[in-house]
């Protein structure tokens, strides 16, 4: 495939910072998001690299964790630590012997749920936690052959949906979309879902994943999913947890602070890679993407996934919500910062108009006691346009730059 291209990741700065502050750092994220590549690039010269993806290495660590660690030369990167949770309590003992020594261990893992729980329980106060998702829009723009291609939001959106944001497929244009995603899904199902979680019928789980993809950007309705698949609600609940834990999906919670009982309580579901949605729903070309029945939902998904990446790449937890009240006030995205509420509408349109800002105006009127800032409509416009005194149409690029500067 020729010379390897390394794209600098936005998370490098917070990663280096935490590395100097804690004895251990954990970098979680979905499979193939670039965790190992990133760590080898930054720390590879000085750190031993051990991958627990290798069955022999895993067996040695599980059978005698103490002996295994005695033979490890620090500092060390432990890749895919979720396969050997037994190691964590022994790492804690090592860290506590030399508590002030920084950057000794770097851990990666593909299943956040189990990993973070174990790390939180075992290494509380001793470990810095970060999450790496696939390439952000700004990271993809650093890929040499994509610079000219990604010249506006529509092109970036189409590329993220019909190609991918995962590093491997992004930097190697000859890799086929179908074959890569088929292989990725199979690896995910076999290695993560079957190995780490007792999931039951993999074929039913895959059908569930496909059905969920058709409902991206919608309020999560467990009963409806269970009814359509003929599966118990508790099973659907468990499967949602698995997808969230392995960072396939992101659940956007409703904003409910001081709003009482007037709001929808269920989260909305978004995929953290909209190309996976397109793979699962059979969307393969620009016409179908931009004019098909899922066009608006996919653009909303794209904006939310990139928003989540911006927060995580800055080492922050996403402080984001949506709103839907029982009298039909609906706001696509709310960012809360310093007790201020920033409302956003997301529209797949190149010609924003005042009507698109009506939900924000209603929101401000009904909840006048809240500290609601002027609203913005994120759309396909190339430049920011003031529509009213309180509503601005904002280009996606301008929105992301604002986000990076303000999260």
Kindly report the CATH number assigned to the domain that includes residue 167.
Answer: 1.10.10.10
Classify residue 147: in a domain, yes or no: yes
d(CA 274, CA 318): 18
> What pLDDT is stored for residue 1 in this prediction?
42
d(CA 150, CA 144): 11
- Report the candidate in 63, 64, 87 with the shortest Cα–Cα distance to residue 76: 87
d(CA 133, CA 11): 10
* Cβ atoms within 10 Å, residue 229: 17
Beta bridge partners of 49: 77
> Over the stretch 259-288, which tens digit does the pLDDT of each residue have?
665 678 899 999 999 999 999 999 999 999
Structurally, the chain folds into a number of domains equal to 3
> Over the stretch 327-347, which tens digit does the pLDDT of each residue have?
888 999 999 998 899 999 999
Which residue is listed with tokens 């630590």? 81
Q: 178 and 65, same structural domain?
A: no
Would you state the structure tokens that stand for residue 42, as one six-digit string?
């930054």
- Running DSSP on this structure, what letter comes out for residue 381? -
> What pLDDT is stored for residue 54 in this prediction?
92
Q: 150 and 273, same structural domain?
A: yes
Classify residue 2: in a domain, yes or no: no
80, 103, 131 — which closes off a domain?
131
Give the pLDDT mean for 202-226. 96
Q: 269 and 145, same structural domain?
A: yes
Residue 160 in 3-state DSSP? helix
pLDDT at 377 over 60: yes
The residue segments making up the domain with residue 223 are 137-254+265-298
Whole-model pTM: value is 0.94
Would you state the structure tokens that stand for residue 148, as one six-digit string?
């000219």
Residue 31 in 3-state DSSP? coil
Q: 225 and 148, same structural domain?
A: yes
Q: 87 and 228, same structural domain?
A: no
């Amino acid at each position: 495939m020729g010379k390897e291209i390394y794209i600098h990741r936005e998370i490098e700065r917070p990663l280096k910072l935490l590395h100097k502050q804690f004895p251990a750092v954990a970098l979680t994220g979905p499979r193939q998001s670039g965790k190992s590549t990133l760590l080898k690039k930054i720390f590879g010269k000085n750190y031993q690299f051990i991958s627990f993806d290798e069955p022999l290495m895993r067996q040695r660590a599980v059978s005698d964790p103490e002996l295994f660690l005695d033979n490890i030369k620090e500092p060390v990167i432990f890749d895919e630590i979720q396969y050997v949770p037994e190691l964590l309590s022994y790492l804690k003992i090592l860290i506590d012997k030399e508590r002030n020594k920084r950057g000794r261990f770097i851990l990666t893992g593909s299943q956040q749920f189990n990993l973070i729980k174990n790390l939180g329980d075992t290494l509380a106060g001793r470990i810095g936690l970060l999450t790496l998702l696939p390439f952000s829009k700004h990271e993809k723009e650093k890929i040499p052959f994509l610079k000219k291609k990604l010249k506006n939001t529509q092109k970036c959106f189409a590329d993220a949906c019909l190609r991918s944001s995962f590093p491997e497929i992004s930097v190697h244009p000859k890799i086929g979309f179908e074959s890569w995603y088929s292989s990725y899904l199979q690896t995910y199902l076999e290695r993560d879902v079957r190995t780490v979680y007792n999931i039951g019928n993999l074929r039913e789980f895959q059908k569930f994943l496909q059905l969920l993809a058709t409902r991206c950007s919608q309020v999560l309705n467990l009963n409806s999913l269970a009814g359509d698949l003929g599966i118990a609600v508790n099973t659907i609940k468990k499967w949602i947890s698995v997808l969230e834990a392995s960072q396939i999906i992101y659940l956007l919670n409703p904003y409910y602070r001081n709003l009482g009982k007037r709001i929808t309580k269920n989260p909305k579901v978004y995929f953290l890679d909209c190309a996976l949605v397109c793979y699962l729903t059979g969307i393969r070309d620009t016409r179908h993407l931009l004019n098909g029945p899922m066009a608006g939902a996919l653009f909303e998904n794209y904006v939310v996934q990139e928003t989540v990446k911006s927060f995580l790449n800055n080492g922050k937890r996403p402080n984001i919500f949506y709103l839907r009240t029982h009298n039909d006030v609906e706001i696509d995205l709310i960012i809360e910062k310093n007790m201020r509420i920033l409302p956003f509408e997301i529209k797949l349109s190149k010609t924003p108009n005042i009507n698109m800002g009506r939900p924000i105006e209603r929101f401000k009127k009904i909840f006048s006691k809240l500290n609601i800032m002027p609203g913005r409509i994120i759309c396909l416009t190339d430049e920011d346009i003031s529509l009213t005194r309180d509503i601005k149409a904002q280009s996606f690029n301008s929105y992301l730059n604002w986000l990076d500067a303000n999260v």
